């Protein structure tokens, strides 16, 4: 009997993969990863040059991404069938060998792998290897700590209604907004209404080639990059001598 090993890949730089996940990836005979149809996929790109020459690859291509609304019954039906199908295929494969599933960031933090995990955990031996989250890579890329002292950090999805975004942006000290993309104009409006826009940064392709860090207020509304996270740094308690603060 084999196992399904999910390797958290971290934020994008292959040098930020954990020692354990690095070992699993380089030693893999079978690797599976999610991607949009017709694309190489970000997970596969991260491990370029790390895979064994004779590895067998299983690209798991989403049947739909943003073509239909994510909260429609049709989207739900298509995605559920997709995860059911791949869960069955990976379980069959794991009957005879180990399979490594590649996952960007950390597998248990808003990841697609979780949908396979819940379907498989009671019938296959699973080993999930944590990864550095994308947001951690992004706040490190800004060169400034995200939280100090008692700061409250809230992680928000750009898909939330604008009113909800505003309320959470007002209530927390430090902010991370993911799933920005086409939601970026709404995220900007919400930050402005919460009085936080001037402190917001847009990090694109954090830790990866082509990384770009911009003040969100200076980004054009039609500029909606995909691998982008919005950050507002906390400004909490820190010990400073009176003379040092001058």
Footprint of a copy of itself on 167-186 (CB under 8 A): 167-168, 171-172
Q: Which of residues 22-51 bind a copy of itself (CB under 8 A)?
A: 22
**Binding test (CB under 8 A) with a copy of itself, winner from 48, 54, 67, 150:** 150
**Binding test (CB under 8 A) with a copy of itself, winner from 2, 29, 59, 130:** 130
**Binding test (CB under 8 A) with a copy of itself, winner from 45, 89, 147, 214:** 147
Closest CA to 221 of 173, 180, 169, 171: 180
**Integer Cα distance of 246 and 242 in angstroms:** 7
Q: Is 67 in the site for a copy of itself (CB under 8 A)?
A: no
Token pair 């005879």 in the structure block, residue: 96
CB of 47 to a copy of itself, least distance (A): 12
User: Which of residues 56 and 79 has its CB atom nearest to a copy of itself in the complex?
Assistant: 79
Burial per residue of 91-127, b for 16 or more beta-carbon CB atoms within 10 angstroms, e otherwise: bebbeeebbbbbbbbbbbbebbbbbbbebbeeebebe
**Binding test (CB under 8 A) with a copy of itself, winner from 101, 133, 191, 204:** 133
For 174, list phi and psi in degrees, rounded to 5. -110, 145
CB of 211 to a copy of itself, least distance (A): 13
**Integer Cα distance of 177 and 172 in angstroms:** 12
Cα 183-188-192 angle, rounded to 5 deg: 150
Piece of the chain touching a copy of itself by CB under 8 A; list 27-35, 37-45, 91-99, 150-158:
150-158
Q: Which of residues 201-240 bind a copy of itself (CB under 8 A)?
A: 207, 237-240
Closest CA to 235 of 177, 180, 186, 172: 172
CB of 241 to a copy of itself, least distance (A): 4
**Binding test (CB under 8 A) with a copy of itself, winner from 46, 47, 146, 191:** 146
Joined together, the tokens standing for residue 93 give 């494969």
């Amino acid at each position: 009997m084999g196992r399904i090993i999910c390797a958290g890949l971290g934020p994008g730089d292959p040098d930020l993969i954990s020692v354990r996940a690095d070992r699993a990836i380089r030693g893999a005979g079978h690797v599976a990863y999610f991607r949009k149809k017709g694309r190489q996929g970000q997970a596969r790109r991260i491990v370029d040059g790390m895979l064994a020459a004779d590895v067998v690859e299983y690209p798991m291509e989403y049947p739909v991404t943003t073509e239909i609304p994510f909260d429609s019954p049709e989207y739900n039906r298509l995605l559920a069938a997709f995860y059911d199908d791949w869960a069955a295929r990976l379980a069959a494969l794991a009957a005879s060998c180990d399979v490594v599933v590649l996952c960007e960031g950390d597998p248990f933090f808003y990841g697609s792998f979780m949908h396979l995990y819940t379907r498989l955990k009671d019938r296959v031996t699973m080993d999930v290897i944590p990864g550095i989250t994308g947001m951690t890579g992004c706040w490190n890329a800004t060169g400034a700590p995200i939280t100090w002292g008692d700061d409250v950090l809230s992680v928000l999805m750009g898909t939330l209604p604008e009113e909800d975004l505003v309320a959470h942006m007002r209530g927390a000290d430090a902010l991370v907004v993911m799933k920005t993309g086409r939601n970026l104009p709404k995220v900007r409006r919400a930050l402005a209404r919460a009085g936080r826009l001037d402190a917001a940064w847009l990090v694109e392709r954090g830790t990866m080639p082509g990384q770009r860090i911009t003040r969100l207020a200076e980004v054009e509304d039609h500029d909606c990059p995909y691998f982008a996270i919005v950050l507002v740094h906390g400004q909490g308690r820190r010990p400073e001598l009176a003379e040092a603060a001058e």
